[in-house]
Amino acid sequence: MDLFITGGAGFIGSNFVRMAIFRGHNVLNFDALTYAGRRENLSDLESKSNYLFVEGNICDEHAVEKALENTFDGKGFNVVINFAAESHVDRSIHAAKIFSETNVLGTATLLEAARAANVPMFIQISTDEVYGSLSSTGKFERHSPLNPSSPYSSSKAGADLLALSFYHTWGYDVRITRCTNNYGSYQFPEKFIPTIITRALRGESIPVFGDGMQIRDWIYVNDHCEGIFNVIERGKPAHIYLFGGSNEKTNLDLSRTILEALAKRTNQPEENFMKLITHITDRPGHDRRYTIDWSSSKQELGWEPAISFETGIEQTVEWYLQNRKWWESII
């Protein structure tokens, strides 16, 4: 397949591009290289004939239209996969405008250009955060009401509705994925798991919001990417697909698990790392718990996560240990 991928220089996008190239697909990676995008994440692919990097902003219709004119085999792209987004909730609290621009207007620009260029399928990569917060029981299902809490999740919900409107208005084949929190290699150091690992390795305090009892579900990034391939191959227009890892953890437990793995791997006493945990003032509007019921994706796509939480965390800790130069240069 010929894939037009946006945001492929970021965390999930770069893992997806790598899998796609490894599987023999042609990939155009369109990315604005914001602070979160690193072209060097995929620099080893740039010599390959089935990979093309184009720097550009999804809000810039001319740049998007021009990039869509590229072909690998003269036949045009089979699918647009929109990973490009402003993705950090904490930043969205202080800078809502750029989140609306990229996540909402950028998605609208991309939808219009993809439809005009006759790309037959559009996949919008979204998040479980569009459903808002849960109490201690229950799970969100794909048709649970949208109730986003942060400027980030609100802009993602807006983008999802826009994407679906292209199906209802034009019959355009749009598919939505909503996934829980990802972890793995190449995640920008500002996100929670890389923050824990990189600060612990530098002997710095590890900030945990409030009481640390907020619950999130965690999924290894490759499992999410596999789910997206399944949506392309077996999904249906206008359907919403949920992906989760069934690893619900409080932020405090997650911090301790990672620090235990780090202590074991570096042969250091656990208490050297545990004492770094520092509770800080809670984030305004902090969602208490999210999790989803992804059984519909299992039934309809045959998808389920393959990497256990323990293995995924070990691999992630190892990656940050082996790639210190990557994250130190960013910090």
Query: Which residues bind to ligand NAD, rule: CB under 6 A?
Result: 6-7, 9-13, 31-34, 36-37, 57-59, 83-87, 102, 106, 125, 127, 156, 179, 181-182, 188
Least distance (Å) from ligand NAD to the CB of residue 126?
6
Tokens of 133: 């917060």
Can you tell me the distance from the alpha carbon of 271 to that of 41, in angstroms, rounded to the nearest whole number?
Answer: 34
Can you tell me the distance from the alpha carbon of 2 to that of 175, in angstroms, rounded to the nearest whole number?
Answer: 17
Q: Which residue is nearest to ligand NAD (CB)?
A: 10
The residue (of 26 and 124) whose beta carbon lies closer to ligand NAD is 124
**Is 44 part of the annotated catalytic residue set?**
no
Tokens of 43: 């620099």
Q: How far is CA 21 from CA 52, 148, 201, in A?
A: 11, 34, 32
With tokens 């208005």, the residue in question is: 169
Residue 79 phi/psi, 5-degree rounding, is -155, 145
Catalytic residue (choose from 2, 128, 173, 217): 128
The residue (of 86 and 223) whose beta carbon lies closer to ligand NAD is 86
Catalytic residue (choose from 2, 31, 86, 152): 152
The residue (of 39 and 272) whose beta carbon lies closer to ligand NAD is 39
The residue (of 33 and 96) whose beta carbon lies closer to ligand NAD is 33
Q: Other C-beta atoms within 10 Å of 57: how many?
A: 19
Least distance (Å) from ligand NAD to the CB of residue 268?
28
Catalytic residue (choose from 2, 31, 86, 129): 129
Sign of CA dihedral 26, 32, 36, 41: positive
Least distance (Å) from ligand NAD to the CB of residue 36?
3
Contact predicate 274/205, CB 8 Å? no
Task: Using DSSP, state whether 254 is helix, strand or coil.
Answer: helix
The residue (of 272 and 288) whose beta carbon lies closer to ligand NAD is 288
The residue (of 13 and 235) whose beta carbon lies closer to ligand NAD is 13
**CA nearest 28: which of 79, 102, 101?**
79
Least distance (Å) from ligand NAD to the CB of residue 309?
15
Can you tell me the distance from the alpha carbon of 186 to that of 68, in angstroms, rounded to the nearest whole number?
Answer: 27
Residue type, position 260, single letter: E
Least distance (Å) from ligand NAD to the CB of residue 14?
8
Please list the alpha-helical segments (H only) found in 6-148.
11-22, 61-68, 89-94, 96-99, 106-116
**Is 290 part of the annotated catalytic residue set?**
no
Least distance (Å) from ligand NAD to the CB of residue 123?
11
**Is 129 part of the annotated catalytic residue set?**
yes
Active site residues: 128-129, 152
